């Protein structure tokens, strides 16, 4: 039973990471004025949606439902984005925000992988693919830096 709880907790953490990434892009998209940046964010949203779906499906197989990110988390995210784009909504600034967010996601997922290395390989693979995507996102966002 405890092992199953660890699996659920692990998958919830993966789901939360992907859901917060998607939420951040939704909030940031309101600030985007450049078509290339908008297309990049749309692509990233699709990737986040895939990861949250994969984690959701795995949770469903375990008889669990993912919890959506808390209102407090969303409010903190929203206020951070508002503050960081107050002076500038340039591609450079938006890319910086996305790089910082993706880097935080990489750090979070790396810690989760280390802490939950005993969960089934199929679950670990979702988290590893999420990290790979986040690293790719950082590289792609570097193209928008000043």
Task: Say if residue 74's pLDDT is above 70.
Answer: no
Task: Say if residue 114's pLDDT is above 80.
Answer: yes
**Residue 91 in contact with residue 39, Cβ under 8 Å?**
no
d(C-alpha 77, C-alpha 21), whole Å = 10
CATH number for position 101: 1.20.1260.10
Range of the domain at 32: 2-142
d(C-alpha 60, C-alpha 19), whole Å = 16
Q: Residue 30, Cβ neighbours under 10 Å: how many?
A: 9
pLDDT of residue 144: 96
When pLDDT is cut at 50, 70 and 90, the band that residue 71 belongs to is: low
Domain count of the chain? 1
- Intra-chain end-to-end CA distance of the chain, in Å: 52
Please state the pTM of the whole predicted model: 0.90
**Residue 66 in contact with residue 15, Cβ under 8 Å?**
yes
pLDDT of residue 34: 94
When pLDDT is cut at 50, 70 and 90, the band that residue 96 belongs to is: very high
Tokens of 24: 């951040």
Point out the least confidently predicted range of 63-67, 87-91, 104-108.
Answer: 87-91
């Amino acid at each position: 039973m405890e092992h199953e709880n660890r699996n659920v907790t692990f998958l919830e953490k993966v789901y939360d990471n992907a859901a917060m990434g998607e939420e951040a892009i939704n909030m940031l998209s309101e600030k985007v004025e450049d078509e290339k940046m908008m297309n990049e964010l749309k692509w990233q949203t699709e990737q986040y949606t895939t990861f949250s779906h994969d984690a959701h499906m795995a949770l469903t197989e375990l008889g669990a439902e993912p919890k959506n990110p808390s209102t407090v988390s969303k409010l903190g995210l929203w206020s951070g984005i508002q503050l960081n784009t107050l002076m500038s909504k340039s591609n450079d600034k938006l890319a910086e925000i996305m790089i910082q967010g993706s880097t935080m996601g990489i750090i979070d997922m790396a810690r989760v992988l280390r802490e939950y290395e005993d969960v089934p390989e199929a679950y670990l693979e979702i988290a590893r693919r999420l990290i790979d995507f986040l690293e790719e996102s950082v590289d792609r966002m570097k193209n928008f830096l000043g």
